Chain A
Amino acid sequence: GAGVSQTPSNKVTEKGKYVELRCDPISGHTALYWYRQSLGQGPEFLIYFQGTGAADDSGLPNDRFFAVRPEGSVSTLKIQRTERGDSAVYLCASSFDRDTEAFFGQGTRLTVV
């Protein structure tokens, strides 16, 4: 596609439920990043993929968060047993490789009620 696509754009879920957020990167981009942006804050790094593998998952806050990129393209961020504190905008970005400009999607706004 022309840019990084994230779906859904908005997600409201009940506390304790499981959610999946999808990121479709720019075609040919090998690097993919997930960030989380809370209200009034800058984006915070969660995880970085190079191809299919998670090269750096040091930003994942706890074991309720998990992400996959099985074919080196689309990635899914999975959150188990959601908590109200998980409410934020989840941003995905991709780049041709680690050393080139990262392009961001418009994000998924997750609200846990």
Chain B
Amino acid sequence: GDSVTQMEGPVTLSEEAFLTINCTYTATGYPSLFWYVQYPGEGLQLLLKATKADDKGSNKGFEATYRKETTSFHLEKGSVQVSDSAVYFCALLDYGGSQGNLIFGKGTKLSVKP
């Protein structure tokens, strides 16, 4: 079945460092891909998305490119801030597969130190 694998955390960075969180997926159809973020004490929020191969999603300085050839959707940010400390979830939505609902990775906790 469909699945999402993302890098294990926690990830600890200094402010202004470069961030990469790896995400790869397995899908039977043609999925849309998402990054969700969960700030401390808050609910899951959509950070960015891409609906087809080679699309780039971007928001709040974060970006991720849908790479069909490597089945990846890595999250990047050039200069992280303390306020980016949160748990990040990669997810897919595969209408062509057996499930038409979001399938999430396990999450990666990011801590940014001043």
Contacts and interface: CB of A to CB of B under 8 A. Distances in A.
Interface residues of B, number: 20
Nearest to B45: A104
B43 A106 contact: yes
Contact of B100 (A41, A42, A56, A104): A56
A107 B102 CA distance: 17
Interface stretch (B59-67, B69-77, B103-111): B103-111
Q: How large is the interface on A (under 10, 10 to 19, 20 to 34, 35 or more residues)?
A: 20 to 34
Contacts of A91: 43-44
B101 interface: yes
A72 B105 CA distance: 29
B99 interface: yes
Interface of B: 4, 36, 41-46, 49, 89, 91, 99-107
